[in-house]
Amino acid sequence: MPEAAPLGCLAVVGLGLIGSSIARGARRYGLAERIVAIDADEAVRARVLDLGIADAVTGDAAAGAAQADLVILCVPVGAIGPVAAVMAPHLKPGAVVSDVGSVKASVVAAVSPHLPDGIVFVPGHPVAGTEYSGPDAGFSTLFSNRWCILTPPEDAPEAAVERVRALWQGLGAVVETMTPEHHDLVLAITSHVPHLIAYNIVGTAADLEQVTQSEVMKFSAGGFRDFTRIASSDPTMWRDIFLTNREAVLEMLGRFNEDLSVLTRAIRYGDGDALHDLFTRTRAIRRGIVAQGQETAEADFGRARAAEGVPNAG
């Protein structure tokens, strides 16, 4: 972690899981001399004050971001454009704006038109999180050894990109750069479609619950429990993700449906070799994820230990 603060003022807009984790990490690792927390929810602001994770707390996005060297928008992607429109005229020259949205192309289109000359937008997406939300859910090590993807415009000054990169590296993330369009396609298959499948499966189970007289919940095995964990994520955030990344999601869903038809045929006609080949390939992918340090091989993926109070430490 850097010894000297690389930022004079960091403004975090939206103090949910991601925003509060950024604020906690920035304070813990000395990444900014001053941290301003901005949130429209009065209860959230009061809680942030109680937690002491920011130097100033306000509900006024324009005033709160006015002196910031770096502004991180941590609101649902559907709200990013309107928030940017409110604060953009008040940003000081040379300020850099970034975000944490899981969709990038639509965010660029929503934010860029509002930014005056001299203000650089460097979109970002930390690939990290839990199913919990709110300022109490955050913890300073959330981004440790996790990927953060930046999608800067081709003409972005390197100094502006470096300002955002330095923050994420200071929080422990591994930074990767790609285009917004490529990001959206990659995340559609690695995150968005899996969430959609989880929501659908848990919804189907809820429909069956009355028929099976609570046996779905009673006999839930590990696989279904993991689906319920994913499906308990913030509904507003995921509604916005699917609506703003619809093209990439629909493309991946089409491919998924084709592959599901092949799998259905293998089961129907007793093609054990095809099933075994598929399961062998997917097992190798799981092992690759563990080998890259993006998951643990522990029982229950280490989540039982994480539930012992780690999320609110730091």
Domain boundaries, the chain: 7-178, 182-312
CA dist 271 and 214 (Å) reads: 33
Residue 222: pLDDT band with limits 50, 70, 90: low
Distance (Å, whole) CA 211 – CA 98: 48
**Residue 295: which pLDDT band, with cuts at 50, 70 and 90?**
low
Q: Which of 112, 46, 101, 51 is nearest to 75 (CA)?
A: 101
CATH code for the part of the protein at 182-312: 1.10.3660.10
Separation of alpha carbons 156 and 140, rounded Å: 29
Average pLDDT, the chain: 86
CA-closest candidate to residue 230, choices 186, 188, 199: 199
Letter string b/e over residues 23-34, b meaning 16 or more CB atoms within 10 A of that residue's CB: bbbbbbbebbeb
The pLDDT, as a whole number, for residue 199 is 85
Coil, strand or helix at 80:
helix
pLDDT for the residue 286: 66
Which segment of 16-30, 101-115, 146-160, 188-202 scores lowest on mean pLDDT? 188-202
What pLDDT score was predicted for residue 298?
Answer: 45
Q: Does 108 have pLDDT greater than 90?
A: yes
pLDDT score of 122 more than 60: yes
Quote the crossing angle between the two packed helices 193-209 and 222-231, to the nearest 10°.
110
Q: What percent of the chain has pLDDT over 90?
A: 61
User: What residues form DSSP beta bridges with 58?
Assistant: 38
The predicted model scores a pTM of 0.78
Fold of 7-178: Rossmann fold (3.40.50)
Range among 125-129, 211-215, 290-294 rated most confident: 125-129
Q: Average pLDDT for residues 260-288, to the nearest whole number?
A: 86
Angle between helices 193-209 and 246-268 (to 10 degrees): 60
